[in-house]
Amino acid sequence: METNNHYDAIVIGAGPAGLSAGIYLSRARVKTLILSEGTVGGQMILTHEIANYPGVESISGYQLSMIMRNQAKKFGCDIKSNILVETFNLDKDLKEIVLADGTKYTADAVILSPGGRSRTLGMPGEDALKGKGISYCATCDGDFFTDKKIIVVGGGNSALEEAVSLTKYASKVTIVHQFDHFQAFEYAIEEARNHPKISLHMESSITAFHGNEKLEGVEITDLKSGLKQNHPIDGVFIFIGYVPNTEFLEGKVELSEWKEIIVDADMQTSIKGIFAAGDSITKKYRQVTTAVADGTIAALAASKYIHELHQNKQLQHTR
């Protein structure tokens, strides 16, 4: 078993940000390793069809993930997925990452792209029907529900704004919210309340999802009376918050109050030589295209950092 392996750069996470970083670094002949505790592609593989990626009319998230993966490998990037990281030592000049099996990797620079996950309801049937009628992204999937009846879950700004945007496609949008009031700006509340295609189902919650190959209906529970009713529905969009996968970074790099990684314009974190990209950083919009852009910037900045580091070491060696 390998006990020590040194790379110029190690990328944590193999979503679109991490894969893009791997492509750019490897193309620049930076010795690069991508480590992913999950499947290559990240959240992207959950998307049935991506139709707004520039230059590509239509492609599944899985297919796009595999194309990016193959590009990175073609340029010489090593990729290890479905591994378990035991420890991270990021605050020294030589960064160290140890896997659960004892394998140790070191690098001059690290790019953190662990991604994130939409907060789920955690109700029966939800996991099985993700991407089969249950979505967490209106921009990604709204078009697939043209002339369909859908439900939007949530009561914040994102939920109400996305509900209004989904009326461009859906024939009817029902907002299901657990409270008797919304936690959103007044303009968003008024727009949703006054829209002819939108109806409200307050003080209620979805407690089960039904369907085999695709979503066919939901169970909605009235939280005041406890009454449960089944409703046939074509799609459900859930907007109840977003969770960055940064638990392992607590106390290691500076995080925002929402546990997102704080970066500068070059995707540099609070630690020198540690960069970050993708859905785990502090940002407003989260799309495949924005993740790719983040990964590109982080890779270019990391490549410059590594180049300068090697130059300085050579100068010190020759003195």
75-133 tens-digit pLDDT: 999 999 999 999 999 988 899 999 999 999 999 999 999 999 889 999 999 999 999 99
Residue 291 confidence (pLDDT): 96
Domain-embedded: residue 128:
no
Is 140 one of the annotated active-site residues of the chain?
yes
CATH number at residue 266: 3.50.50.60
Q: For residue range 287-298, list pLDDT tens digits in order.
A: 899 999 999 999
Q: Which domain holds residue 157?
A: 134-238
Domain-embedded: residue 261:
yes
Residue 4 confidence (pLDDT): 57
Domain-embedded: residue 230:
yes
Residue 152 confidence (pLDDT): 98
pLDDT at 272 over 90: yes
What is the spatial distance between Cα 230 and Cα 214, in angstroms, rounded to a whole number?
16
User: Contact at 8 Å (CB) between 245 and 117?
Assistant: yes
Residue 2 confidence (pLDDT): 45
Residue 298 confidence (pLDDT): 98
**Average confidence (pLDDT) over 21-47:** 93
**Average confidence (pLDDT) over 205-225:** 97
Task: Give the pLDDT band (50/70/90) at residue 49.
Answer: confident
Encoded tokens for 278: 């993708």
Domain-embedded: residue 23:
yes
Pick the catalytic residue from 8, 77, 137, 279.
137
One-letter amino acid at 207 equals T
Residue with tokens 């307050």: 202
Residue 61 confidence (pLDDT): 87
Domain-embedded: residue 127:
no
How many CB atoms lie under 10 A from the CB of residue 39? 13
Give yes or no: residues 44 and 84 share one domain: yes
pLDDT at 306 over 60: yes
Give yes or no: residues 217 and 75 share one domain: no
Backbone angles phi, psi at 161, to 5 degrees: -65, -40
The vertex-95 CA angle with 94 and 97, nearest 5°, equals 140
Largest CA distance in the chain: 80
Query: Last residue of a domain, which of 205, 238, 271?
Result: 238
Query: Last residue of a domain, which of 217, 238, 259?
Result: 238
Give yes or no: residues 111 and 145 share one domain: no
> Averaging pLDDT over each range in 40-49, 192-201, 241-250, 306-315, which range is the top one?
192-201
pLDDT at 1 over 70: no
**Average confidence (pLDDT) over 25-42:** 95
How far from 130 is each of 26, 99, 157, 208, CA to CA, in Å? 33, 30, 23, 13
Give yes or no: residues 144 and 190 share one domain: yes
pLDDT at 17 over 60: yes
Q: For residue range 148-195, list pLDDT tens digits in order.
A: 999 999 999 889 999 999 999 999 999 999 999 999 999 999 999 999
Backbone angles phi, psi at 195, to 5 degrees: -75, 130
Q: What's the whole-number average pLDDT of the chain?
A: 93
Give yes or no: residues 164 and 216 share one domain: yes
Domain-embedded: residue 126:
no
Give yes or no: residues 227 and 246 share one domain: no
Give yes or no: residues 97 and 182 share one domain: no
Please count the structural domains in the chain: 2
Task: Give the pLDDT band (50/70/90) at residue 319.
Answer: low
pLDDT at 3 over 50: no
Encoded tokens for 308: 């300068």
Domain-embedded: residue 124:
no
Is 264 one of the annotated active-site residues of the chain?
no
Give yes or no: residues 21 and 102 share one domain: yes
What is the spatial distance between Cα 30 and Cα 10, in angstroms, rounded to a whole number?
10
Residue 286 confidence (pLDDT): 84
Give yes or no: residues 273 and 227 share one domain: no
Residue-wise DSSP of 243-294: EES-GGGTTTS-B-TTSPBP--TT-B-SSTTEEE-STTBS-S---HHHHHHH
Pick the catalytic residue from 8, 77, 108, 140.
140
Give yes or no: residues 14 and 112 share one domain: yes
**Average confidence (pLDDT) over 295-306:** 98
Pick the catalytic residue from 8, 77, 108, 141.
141
Give yes or no: residues 114 and 247 share one domain: yes
Is 141 one of the annotated active-site residues of the chain?
yes
Domain-embedded: residue 289:
yes
Query: Last residue of a domain, which of 193, 223, 238?
Result: 238
Q: Are strands 95-99 and 85-89 parallel, antiparallel or unpaired?
A: antiparallel
Give yes or no: residues 161 and 251 share one domain: no
